[in-house]
């Protein structure tokens, strides 16, 4: 299957909303093609290179993006709203056109309805609640988070993957996992790690705030 390719410094998951500002002529052309043909384009994390300029080398696994809305500007730039649909694996990339076009094949999710997926979902759910509560404490803001977590293992796995505040390397590793039990098991470890990190950060802040810092508010070395 042939698909226009948009390498980005972001990992797109199925079900994830992704707004994009399109300003480069090659990607304006790509968006016009996708709108006219009512076809998606592929988003893949950049493995080597930059978003702007020469063609970047993408990671092998990406996600198709469906264009939901296009806002055109007088100078030709566009703001588009997209949503991730399904994963794909890149088999080859043609860089001879204005924008990259990849030969891809569907990379389906497996084992979404197995017993292990259900058991892992029950372990992950309480960690998600704890993680969200600690994020609110760390940011000192009431986050606009959906407290009603999905009861479906597949939906929960992708929701957690989208919500996790981790680096692109961790997110790409999640995207590349073949099945839902694999994703949930990895997410359980990531949530535990991030909860521990945030708790340490909060404890450290508390220690600093309660420390006797003297009349100037500064600590000076002896």
Same domain, 87 and 143: no
Q: Tell me the CATH number at 185.
A: 1.20.58.1480
pLDDT, tens digit, for every residue of 98-127? 999 999 999 999 888 889 999 999 999 999
Q: Is residue 15 part of a domain?
A: yes
Instruction: Give the structural domain span for 205.
Output: 115-210
Instruction: Give pTM, 2 decimals.
Output: 0.87
Q: Is residue 178 part of a domain?
A: yes
Q: Is residue 167 part of a domain?
A: yes
Residue 50 and residue 47: Cα distance in Å, rounded? Answer: 9
Same domain, 56 and 130: no
pLDDT, tens digit, for every residue of 19-46? 999 999 999 999 999 999 999 999 999 9
Q: Is residue 123 part of a domain?
A: yes
Burial class (CB in 10 A: 0-12, 13-18, 19+), 99: buried
């Amino acid at each position: 299957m042939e698909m226009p390719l948009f390498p980005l410094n972001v990992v797109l998951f199925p079900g994830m909303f992704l707004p994009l500002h399109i300003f480069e002529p090659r990607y304006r052309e790509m968006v016009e093609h996708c709108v006219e043909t009512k076809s998606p384009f592929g988003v893949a994390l950049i493995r080597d290179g930059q978003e702007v300029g020469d063609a970047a080398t993408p990671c092998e696994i990406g996600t198709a993006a469906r264009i939901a809305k296009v806002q055109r500007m007088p100078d030709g730039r566009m703001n588009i709203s997209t949503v991730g649909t399904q994963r794909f694996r890149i088999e080859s990339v043609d860089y001879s056109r204005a924008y990259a076009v990849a030969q891809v094949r569907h990379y389906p999710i497996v084992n979404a309805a197995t017993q292990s997926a259900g058991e892992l979902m029950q372990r992950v759910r309480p960690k998600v609640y704890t993680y969200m509560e600690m994020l609110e404490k760390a940011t000192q803001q009431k986050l606009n988070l959906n407290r009603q977590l999905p009861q479906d293992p597949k939906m929960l796995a992708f929701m957690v993957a989208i919500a996790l505040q981790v680096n692109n390397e961790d997110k790409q590793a999640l995207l590349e996992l073949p099945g839902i039990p694999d994703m949930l098991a990895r997410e359980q470890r990531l949530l535990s790690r991030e909860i521990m990190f945030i708790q340490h950060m909060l404890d450290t802040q508390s220690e600093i705030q309660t420390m006797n810092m003297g009349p100037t508010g500064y600590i000076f070395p002896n």
